[in-house]
Amino acid sequence: MNKTIISPSLLSGDFGNLQADCQKINKSNADWFHLDIMDGVFVPNISFGLPVVSAIKKHAEKPLDVHLMIVEPDRYVEGFKKAGADYLTVHYEACTHLHRTLQLIKSFGMKAGVSLNPHTPISLLEDIIVDIDLVLLMSVNPGFGGQKFIKETYDKIKKLKKLITEKNTNTIIEIDGGVNDKNAKKLTEAGADALVAGNYIFKHENFNEAVNSLKSSV
């Protein structure tokens, strides 16, 4: 069985010294860099934008997993490609023409992801799952790090896994919000392939140990 993909979220890093945090991720067994882009409209918080993603790209030795929590994401797809995104994930709730948005992301050679808020049902993906490389299930309401994990996520993972199996796609299931060493195993058992973690990894006294504890949770 493949090991879980671990994507540390730099939202919980030190914005005054992101280069040091990039090196921590590079040197660890983590797989991706999770970058949370918030516009203060789709979510009640503003994080960072394109220039910061470009700066991180210079130091990152692993793929950039970019999570857009913004309205009208089509306007910025090309910009995020230029800034260095490898996976570009948009929110279902922010896309009126989701099919078009996914094709646009793929036309730039990026992997296309769709994120669902906690209240958004898996069934809404039935007719689009074949076009999605990654589904990012929010296990907290998006906008902030350090929130409490929502337990209904386990059932959503199982439903999504069933849909992916039925449609015979290679879609990656990624979980974002409140992930830690206590729930990681249950998440991967339910069908998660990738785990995002911000606070758990960055507030841990030993960065590598924190990554490894999630990584071995298969």
Q: How far is the CB of 177 from Zn ion (least distance, A)?
A: 7
| 65 sits near Zn ion (criterion: CB under 5 A) | no
* Among the residue ranges 14-22, 73-81, 182-190, 196-204, the one whose residues contact ligand DX5 (CB under 6 A): 196-204
Nearer to ligand DX5 by Cβ, of 191 and 198: the residue is 198
SS (H, E, C) the chain: CCCCEEEEEHHHCCCCCHHHHHHHHHHCCCCCEEEEEEECCCCCCECCCHHHHHHHHHHCCCCEEEEEECCCHHHHHHHHHHHCCCEEEEEHHHCCCHHHHHHHHHHCCCEEEEEECCCCCHHHHCCCHHHCCEEEEECCCCCCCCCCCCCCHHHHHHHHHHHHHHHCCCCEEEEECCCCCCCHHHHHHHCCCEEEECHHHHCCCCHHHHHHHHHCCC
**One residue of 22, 25, 77, 140 binding ligand DX5 per CB under 6 A:** 140
* Among the residue ranges 14-22, 78-86, 124-132, 194-202, the one whose residues contact ligand DX5 (CB under 6 A): 194-202
**One residue of 176, 197, 210, 214 binding Zn ion per CB under 5 A:** 176
Q: How far is the CB of 136 from Zn ion (least distance, A)?
A: 7
- Which residues in the 65-94 window bind ligand DX5 by CB under 6 A? 67
Task: Report the phi/psi class of residue 146: left, alpha or beta, with left for phi > 0 and alpha for psi in -120 to 50.
Answer: left
| 175 sits near ligand DX5 (criterion: CB under 6 A) | no
Which are the catalytic amino acids?
A: 36, 176
* 100: Cα separation from own chain's centroid: 21
C-beta separation of 162 from 140 below 8 A: no
| 174 sits near Zn ion (criterion: CB under 5 A) | no
| 47 sits near ligand DX5 (criterion: CB under 6 A) | no
Nearer to ligand DX5 by Cβ, of 132 and 197: the residue is 197
**One residue of 5, 13, 25, 36 binding ligand DX5 per CB under 6 A:** 36
Q: How far is the CB of 97 from Zn ion (least distance, A)?
A: 23
Q: How many whole angstroms separate alpha carbon 46 and alpha carbon 29? A: 29
Task: Tell me, by CB under 6 A, how many residues bind ligand DX5.
Answer: 21
Q: Which residues of the chain form contacts with ligand DX5 (CB under 6 A)?
A: 9, 11-12, 34, 36, 67, 140, 142-143, 145-147, 176-179, 196-200
